[in-house]
């Protein structure tokens, strides 16, 4: 089992879009895949479970992190073969406060929950909120590696220093000394000077860690969300589908 987190505390850089389509792509390749939505915004959840069908608190990640419910009790199947999901809940946004007095190792709750399903999945993909709070720390502690999507639509490199510091903190405090960066993913790539400059700077800063596959701005990727489908179902021949298919191959190889 490989556990991979999509993370960047910057908002709107395609964390959820990438989590959804990487997870769906791995599942379509035949890998038993679990997608965990750890973002209280629940954008990823709403692609697979229609927002009109409100997810009860007891059937969400909240119950696992707060009430120690077994992970298997909140797993739901999806319309994609081999792909299951753990839904998020808006109440997750209070996790830091709710666990402020917890006496256990509250950063390792997700990691401990994943132990119970270790043999059932080949890949576990975690979508994270745009923050570096306790949810993200739990994800980093539970993960083997991180994929960091970075939007090339504007200069967003300052936040990466802070993200690096958090990764180092997780490594250095023994929460997860082996946490790796699997790759940096350029998103919202366009034929503009800004987009080219940002890609060049990422290459200099992260070198070989930058995925060869970059994801261009592609309207089908945006539309797929509102059609409640991964890109491979909504627009299988689109540029977006082609890119995420290539990215999935790179991930499998790494």
Ligand X SMILES: Nc1ncnc2c1ncn2[C@@H]1O[C@H](COP(=O)(O)OP(=O)(O)OP(=O)(O)O)[C@@H](O)[C@H]1O
Q: How far is the CB of 138 from Mg ion (least distance, A)?
A: 16
Q: Does an H or E element contain 22, and which?
A: helix 15-28
Per-residue x/- marks for Mg ion, 144-173, CB under 5 A? ------------------------------
Cβ distance 211 to 186 under 8 Å?
yes
**In angstroms, what is the minimal distance from the CB of 127 to Mg ion?**
6
Stretch 130-189 residues interacting with ligand X (CB under 6 A): 130, 187-188
SS3 159: helix
12 binds, among ligand X, Mg ion, none (CB under 5 to 8 A by kind): ligand X
Tokens of 27: 């599942």
3-state DSSP call for residue 140?
helix
Q: How far is the CB of 19 from ligand X (least distance, A)?
A: 8
Does residue 17 touch ligand X according to CB under 6 A?
A: yes
Of residues 185 through 244, those in contact with ligand X by CB under 6 A are 187-188, 215, 217-218, 221-222, 225
Q: How far is the CB of 213 from ligand X (least distance, A)?
A: 12
134, 107 in Cβ contact below 8 A? yes
Selection from ligand X, Mg ion, none that 133 binds (CB < 5 to 8 A by kind) is: none
User: What is the contact mask toward ligand X in residues 107 to 136, using x (rule: CB under 6 A)?
Assistant: -----------------------x------
Strand partners, 126: 5, 36
Give long-range contacts, CB 8 A cutoff, 24+ apart: 240-244: 240/21, 240/215, 240/216, 243/213, 243/214, 243/215, 243/216, 243/218, 244/18, 244/21, 244/22, 244/25, 244/215
Residues at the site binding ligand X, with contacts judged by CB under 6 A: 11-17, 39, 41, 43, 130, 187-188, 215, 217-218, 221-222, 225
């Amino acid at each position: 089992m490989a556990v991979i987190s999509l993370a960047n505390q910057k908002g709107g850089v395609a964390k959820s879009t990438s989590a959804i389509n990487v997870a769906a792509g791995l599942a379509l390749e035949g890998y038993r895949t679990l997608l965990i939505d750890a973002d209280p915004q629940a954008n990823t959840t709403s692609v697979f479970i229609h927002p009109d069908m409100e997810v009860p608190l007891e059937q969400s990640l909240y119950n696992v992190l707060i009430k120690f419910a077994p992970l298997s009790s909140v797993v739901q199947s999806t319309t994609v073969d081999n792909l299951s999901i753990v839904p998020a809940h808006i109440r997750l946004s209070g996790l830091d406060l709710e666990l402020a007095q917890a006496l256990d190792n509250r950063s390792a709750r997700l990691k401990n929950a994943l132990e119970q399903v270790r043999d059932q999945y080949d890949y576990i993909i975690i979508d994270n909120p745009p923050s570096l709070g306790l949810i993200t720390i739990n994800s980093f502690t539970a993960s083997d590696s991180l994929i960091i999507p970075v939007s090339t639509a504007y200069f967003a490199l300052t936040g990466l220093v802070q993200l690096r510091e958090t990764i180092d903190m997780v490594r250095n405090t023994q929460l997860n000394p082996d946490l790796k960066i699997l790759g940096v993913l350029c998103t919202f790539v366009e034929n503009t000077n800004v987009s080219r400059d940002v890609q060049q700077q990422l290459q200099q800063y992260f070198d070989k860690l930058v995925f060869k596959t970059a994801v261009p701005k592609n309207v089908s990727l945006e539309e797929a969300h509102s059609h409640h489908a991964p890109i491979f179902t909504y627009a299988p021949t689109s540029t977006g589908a082609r890119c995420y298919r290539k990215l999935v191959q790179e991930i499998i190889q790494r």
